Amino acid sequence: MTSPQATTALIVIDVQESFRHRPYWSETDLPVYLERQQALIDGCAARGVPVVQVFHNEGEGVFSRDSGFVRTLEGIRIAPDFIVDKWKHSALAGSRLGTWLQERGIRKVIVSGIRTEQCCETTTRAASDAGFSVDYVTEATLTFPMTHAGSGRIYSPAEIKERTELVLAGRFARIAIVEDALAAL
C-alpha cells in the first residue's frame, strides 16, 4: 500500500513579489496568510510531500521575468521539489505540471497561494477535472478586495474566500485548514 505522502503534492501558486506592485495590493491579511502558508509548506516538507512552486508569467509588466518580481514573496521560505512557470490561470494549463505529477504517481494535490478566487480556484477546478483529489486550504490563500463592475459593491477578501469555498466544496475539493490537510498525510 502506498502512503498518502507518496501520492500527494503541495502546489504553491503565484506566491511572488509581482503582486506587491499591483494597485490592489494590501498588507491587511498578509501576516496571517504568511504564517498559514509557511506552516503548510513546512508541514508538507517535514512529511516528505513534494512541494511545487508555481510562478505566473506575462510578456510584460510586473509579471514578466524581466521585471525582477517573478520571485518568491518576501516572508516565505520554500525549497521546492519542482518549479513551474505558467501563463494561464490554471497551473495545469499549458505547463509541465500535469506531466510532472503523473510521472510521480501523484493522485492528490493540496492547493494554496495567491489569489484565492483566481489562479488557486482555477487550478483546483482543473485538477479535479483531471482526476486528482484536491484539498483546498483557504487559509493558505490570499486575495484582495474586489469591486463589482455593475453594482459598485466592494467584496472583502473574507467574502471572496467564503464564495470560493461555497463553489468548490464537495464538487471540486475538500475544504481544509492547514492542520487538517497535514493530518490527512
Grid coordinates representing 114 are 495567491
CATH class of the region 4-183? alpha beta
Residue 156, pLDDT score: 98
Closest CA to 134 of 174, 164, 99: 174
Domain range summary for the chain, segments of one domain joined by + = 4-183
What is the average pLDDT across 87-102?
97
In this prediction, residues 24-28 reach a mean pLDDT of 97
> Based on the number of CB atoms within 10 Å of its own CB, is 159 exposed (0-12), middle (13-18) or buried (19 or more)?
middle
Check residue 4 and give its pLDDT: 86
Is residue 12's pLDDT more than 80? yes
In tens, the pLDDT along 122-164 reads 999 999 999 999 999 999 999 999 999 999 999 999 999 999 9
Q: Write out pLDDT tens, residues 43-57.
A: 999 999 999 999 999
Q: Mean of the per-residue pLDDT values for the chain?
A: 97
Per-residue model confidence as pLDDT tens digits over 46-91: 999 999 999 999 999 999 999 999 999 999 999 999 999 999 999 9
Cα 126 to Cα 119: distance, rounded to the nearest angstrom = 10
Using the CB atoms, write b or e for 63-97: b if 16+ within 10 Å.
beeebebbebbeeeebebbbebbbeebbbbeebeb
Average pLDDT over residues 173-181: 98
